[in-house]
Chain A
Amino acid sequence: MNPSIAAVSTTRPAAQMQRFSLSRILIYLFLFGMSAFFLFPLVWMFLSSFKPPTDIAALPLQFDLATFSFANYEAMFRNVPILSGFKNTLIVIILKGSITLLFAPLAAYAFAKLRFRGRQFLFNIVLATLMLPPIVMLIPLLLQMGTLGWVDTFQALVLPGAIGAFYIFLMRQQFADVPDELLDAGRVDGCSSFQLYRLIVLPMMRPALSALAILVFLDVYNDFVWPSLVTNSIDMQTLQVMLSYLYTQINNAAVGTTGSNAWGQVMAASAVATIPLLIVFIVLQRHFIRGIMAGALKG
């Protein structure tokens, strides 16, 4: 077990508990203040998505339950086939996620625990790719997809950027914590390097793997630059692409209007894009926090 992961879930000794004091009050003021700062835009988004457009602008901080309705959601769902966006995003998440979860930890294992010539050099290459601004590759990559005939296909959405260097980097830091003695014992028992990986490393690294899964999920779910370049037809668009077009479409239609006519729909769309993540987060909350912390710590 990674000691850092264990530490997260344990609590501080009671000696650390402080008595009520001015500083204690200030601490809670700070924490609640920050919480309000983090929650306000979201609460406001959800409330606005149920308000008639005029109310969003007129009374931004008040709400009248009587005027709450799903009208914005209905209009928004009429405007875009958002369910097909969800479906495409889900497919990409499953495909890209599987490839990454299969191969990124395997590569990380090789870099962390196996001896082979050129290991440091090859790992430095992995690190160097982190420094590349991804934007530089957009157009050449698009041209390449054109040559391959992959525009508007799932290959184009899945393969570029799968097994990202950052994921390998994070996993390697984790795998370094697997005690070498365990692996040596396994070798003595005649395990191949892949058996060591499957039987010893993977079971130990479950929290790290769930962290990886979560990070990949978030990355794919939120990505919109590459998907928007490489998909043409609405049948292939992912959720974020659809949303970004929905926004420009709504805002285009509303150019110069008193500003607020389309806001309800915009907020409804934002809410719909956010809710699945919130659900996943609340269900997997512990893995989530632990996983990201575990990944972050070893950086």
Chain B
Amino acid sequence: MSSPLNSKLSRRNFMRMLGVGAASAALPAWLPRVAAQATVNTDLAGDIVIWDRAGDLFQVIDAAIPAFNALYPNIRVDHQAVETSRLAPTLVAGVNVPDGAFIEDESLGLIQQHLLDITDWMAPHVDNLISYKVRVGTFDGQIKAIPYDVDPAMLFYRSDILESNGIDVASILTYDDLIGAAVNLKTANSNMKPIHIDTTPALIVLWVSMLANQQNASFIDANGELTLESEPFLNIMNFIKNALDQGVGNLSGFASTDDIAACDQGIQCFYPWAIWFNYQVDALLKDSRGLWRATNLPRWTEGGAQTASMGGSSFIIPSGAANPELSWAFYEYMMLSLDGIRAAFGPNDIYPGGITTIIPAYKPSYAEQLMVPPESLGGQDLYGFATSLVDQIPQDYYFPLWFGQLGDILGANVQRMQAGDLTPEDVLSISAEEIRSNLMR
């Protein structure tokens, strides 16, 4: 096994040396668009294999490749739709490794040892990116991921219900205010349970993670220590418990039939969720489509953040890639230039109104409207609103390696609390114990 390993290492060093050169050669792409268009790069030549998740992402990126080739005519992109789950074993085996691939942020840690350190290449772009995204793509001080999307959380609400009940959403400043407003609504309409509380274990974890991120906390700290038993998480558990105790929390799973019915029938009218809740409003809700609006999340503390990240993905370049400098040129164009971002996020054949469920992590794109204000939200300027929020996302976030397995522990224990079997303190202490003995060493 030692020989392929050695060759990989030496190749990696070699690439790093190359990287310096490539970054300077590719600089124009980062400069304003006009300059980039003027410079057609014929020096970079070769084939790259790019893996993307099958479905809309693949189609959108695929459609943008001709524009990339107009700038880099000598780079041939072999674009393949490949399951994300195939990446890890391929990287370990080190054969047929792609030159670039798509992956969810939470999985970056699992494969980070196999990824190319692109710190130097990324350096000129870092200030243009949402710092949270740069943070989750950084391991031991090395940047190893090119951000794709950022998924800010917001408070979705039924504008019609709030209006008819005389509730001004601007008055909801804290999570206590949210429960207060919900109690008022319930007093007026006894069948209402205004606040959505999710019941799907994996989504419970994602949601708790988001609410923790909002308080600049995560399941582990920078040193990898478990931080579950801390105030931010207790705040979250108390909020869930409190909402349920007061009878204002509606238990359902995102996008389930129960959930859709509860939204459409006005049983729940507050949905604190990532921007991609708009998918549910747009595609699944029949009666209440167009009645929903988005505002910022309530705050946990005075001056605290009004949004947080819930989901998100990136692109990586494997350290075993054959042509890393070429795939870097590709990603630099697709994700770190206005042209690429327009193609990937803005209106196109696949999404005539632009993507309305995520936004780019590349801040220069926020100046222009890449999303037709969605009718699902009554024509609200979702792009403008979301982009105004994302810089607030607290950046000290660390995904544990076992994030994907938390549903079985934390998700299950939160469910037990939802059923009334555990107290908020219990959820945290039992989960922490189970995490320590089963997932950590």
Contacts and interface: CB of A to CB of B under 8 A. Distances in A.
A248 B93 contact: no
Contacts of B92: 139, 142-143
B185 to A, nearest CB: 26
B1 A143 contact: yes
A232 B82 contact: yes
A92 interface: no
Contacts of A233: 80, 96
Nearest to B54: A249
Contacts of A151: 90, 93, 95-96
Contact of B83 (A149, A245, A256): A245
A276 interface: no
A255 B200 CA distance: 14
Contacts of B257: 258-259
Interface string B236-268: 000000000000000000110100100000000
Contacts of B94: 143, 146
B348 interface: no
Nearest to B253: A256
A248 B81 CA distance: 12
Interface string A284-297: 00000000000000
B4 A252 contact: no
A256 B96 contact: no
A229 interface: yes
A234 interface: yes
Interface stretch (B277-285, B378-386, B398-406, B415-423): B277-285
Given A232-B86, A256-B284, A257-B284, A143 B55 contact: no
A229 B89 contact: yes
A21 interface: no
Interface in B101-127: none
Contacts of B260: 258
Nearest to B320: A146
Nearest to B259: A256
A31 to B, nearest CB: 38
B56 interface: yes
- Contact-residue size bin, chain B (C-beta under 8 Å from the other chain): 20 to 34
B79 interface: no
A258 B254 CA distance: 12
Given A233-B80, A248-B83, A249-B55, A146 B284 contact: no
A147 interface: yes
Contacts of A253: 55-56
B363 interface: no
A294 B261 CA distance: 56
Contacts of B53: 252
A232 B93 CA distance: 12
Contacts of B90: 151, 232
Contact of B255 (A147, A232, A249, A256): A256
Interface string A138-176: 010011011101011000000000000000000000000
Interface in B213-257: 254-255, 257
Interface in B280-303: 280, 283-284
Contact of A142 (B81, B93, B254, B280): B93
A258 B260 CA distance: 9
Contacts of A259: 257
Interface in B51-75: 53-56
A145 B93 contact: yes
B279 A256 contact: yes
Interface of A: 139, 142-143, 145-147, 149, 151-152, 228-229, 232-234, 245, 248-249, 252-253, 255-259
Nearest 6 pairs of A and B residues by beta carbon: A256-B255, A146-B93, A151-B95, A146-B95, A249-B54, A232-B96
